[in-house]
Amino acid sequence: MIPDPPSTPFFTPDRRAMRKKIWQLTLPVILANITVPFVGMVDTAVMGHFDSAHYIGAVAMGSFLFSLISISFGFLRMATTGLVAQSHGADDRPGVVLNYLRAVAMALMLGVLMVVLAQPIIMLARQFLSASEPVLDGMAVYMTIVAFAAPAVFLNMVGLGLLFGLQRVNSCLIQLVAINCINIAVNLILVIGLGMKIEGVALATVLAQYTGTGVTAWLVIRAVGHPRDWPWPPVREVVSLSALAEYFGLGRDLTIRTFGIMLGEMLVLNSSASLGDVELAATQLGFVLFGIIAYGLDGFAHAAESLVGEAIGRRDRARLKQAIEEGTIMAFAMAVVFGGIIFFGAGLFFRLMTSLPEVLMTIDSLIPWLAAIPVISVFAFMMDGVFVGATRARIMRDAMVMSVVVFIPAIYFGHMMFGLHGIWAAFLFLLGVRGGTLWLRLDRVYEKAAA
């Protein structure tokens, strides 16, 4: 095993430069990512002011089901970021273009496949989810419509992966903000203006994603140049079976890892649904807040992806260690701030989201758990970014599997003994185990830089 490079003092010029670089990469991503859960907030808020809690639950189930499927293919974004960042660090422009084109081909193929399989997926979900019949009916309406957004979602993932890998964070900001602002605006027009319900929320997602593909194409051209000037590889190289097998191997491991994350969240939702529609609605509100936390802290993870990939491309182990250490310290400080804001301000936030008194009483009791989430989960977010940048997906897969294995009995006993509080305590346990298991395997990241 190759030893880790020694740490350097924390107040050297190199360290200060690294902190500045991390912040330059992180701040635009945080601003962009925070707009993502605002879509969920608007979805939940417009549903929360109808006359039944099942509207919130239906959109929650539908959106999580779509996320469970589509984000399971999030390897398109993550693999593209890691591979492009490494090519960028090695000053290999043809490699940047080749990795992007392979990812685009896979995005189109998987997007069409998801549209075709939408109805069988809905039928299967109805058999296994523990929600009430009105919630399941609403979930089916949502999924039937939003499935048509899959090809655009995947193409936008690939474009975002390229931009992250090239450290074009301002372009990432433009892409995410544009898509999410369009989604919110169309949502309000269709639901508030035209009186649509669940179908309006779903249709807004479809329209926003397809509009976003045009924005993404423009940003890619700005980052890489006009396609006529690209170093186009031969088609046989793009579709090389050995290269695709390696890419799919990376994608398989990242998909298993992502599926584990989404499975954990779905188990929390499903366990809450078995307690009743009020508990399900409260849990969905908690996940909306968790989304804000996640997308905020994920800014540091995205910075780690690009900086780690670049350092590995340069074979610079000292720079790699600085990126990991400084990013983790800065992310932890931000997590403590987030925790304090949630503890003192979450009550007001929830009252903006719904006017149902029984839901508010339930979610208020969960605020201490929600305030602990950023501090506990920050290491999982940072380690995800580090291992994605290093394209060490197999280790991420194994850590996720181990975490889910210990989480399943934890949520079962937590649900049985403590109800909704036990469910959320088990979720925090899952986040903590996932970060810890990856932290213990950092030596494999340093080995990649010495390869």
pLDDT at 44: 66
Q: Are 85 and 313 in contact (CB under 8 A)?
A: yes
Phi-psi map region of 91: left, alpha, beta (phi>0 left; psi -120 to 50 alpha) = left
Domain annotation covers residue 187: yes
158: its two tokens: 């690939």
pLDDT at 1: 47
Give pLDDT tens digits along the chain (451 positions). Answer: 455 555 556 667 777 888 888 888 888 877 766 665 566 666 666 665 565 666 677 777 777 777 767 767 778 888 888 888 888 888 888 888 998 998 898 888 888 998 898 888 888 877 777 667 777 777 788 888 888 888 999 999 999 889 988 988 888 888 888 888 888 888 888 877 777 777 878 888 889 889 999 999 999 999 898 888 888 888 878 777 777 777 778 778 888 887 788 788 889 988 988 888 888 888 888 888 887 788 778 888 888 988 998 889 888 888 898 889 899 999 999 999 999 999 998 888 888 877 888 888 888 888 999 999 999 999 998 999 899 888 898 999 999 999 999 999 999 999 988 989 999 999 999 999 999 999 999 888 888 777 5
Q: Which residue has the tokens 């974004």?
A: 77
pLDDT at 155: 93
E strand or H helix that includes residue 292:
helix 277-314
pLDDT at 151: 92
Question: What's the rounded Cα separation, in Å, for the pair 181 and 35?
Answer: 8
Question: What's the rounded Cα separation, in Å, for the pair 127 and 369?
Answer: 31
Helix, strand, coil % over all residues of the chain, rounded to 5: 85, 0, 15
Question: What's the rounded Cα separation, in Å, for the pair 233 and 292?
Answer: 40
Tens-digit pLDDT profile for residues 55-65: 677 777 777 77
Residue by residue, DSSP assigns 319-353 as HHHHHHHHHHHHHHHHHHHHHHHHHHHHHHHHHHH
Tens-digit pLDDT profile for residues 94-108: 888 998 998 898 888
Question: What's the rounded Cα separation, in Å, for the pair 78 and 208?
Answer: 22
Domain annotation covers residue 8: no
Q: Where are the alpha helices (DSSP H) in 71-92?
A: 75-89
DSSP single-letter state for residue 9: P
Domain annotation covers residue 13: no
pLDDT at 8: 57
Residues 6+ away with beta carbon under 8 Å from 13:
none
Q: Is 366 exposed, middle or buried (0-12, 13-18, 19+ CB in 10 A)?
A: buried
Domain annotation covers residue 357: yes
Domain coverage including residue 110? 18-449
Residues 6+ away with beta carbon under 8 Å from 219:
159, 163, 168, 171, 174, 175
Domain count, the chain: 1
Residue 406, SS3 per DSSP? helix
Domain annotation covers residue 337: yes
Question: What's the rounded Cα separation, in Å, for the pair 158 and 162?
Answer: 6
CA distances from 382 to 152, 274, 331 (A): 28, 33, 8
Question: What's the rounded Cα separation, in Å, for the pair 196 and 259?
Answer: 32
The count of residues in the chain is 451
Question: What's the rounded Cα separation, in Å, for the pair 13 and 9?
Answer: 10
pLDDT at 337: 92
Domain annotation covers residue 5: no
Question: What's the rounded Cα separation, in Å, for the pair 143 and 372?
Answer: 32
E strand or H helix that includes residue 371:
helix 367-389
pLDDT at 369: 92
Sign of the alpha-carbon torsion through 88, 93, 99, 101: positive
Domain annotation covers residue 3: no
Domain annotation covers residue 283: yes
Helix axis angle, 75-89 to 367-389, nearest 10°: 50
CA distances from 93 to 78, 89, 100, 316 (A): 19, 10, 11, 19
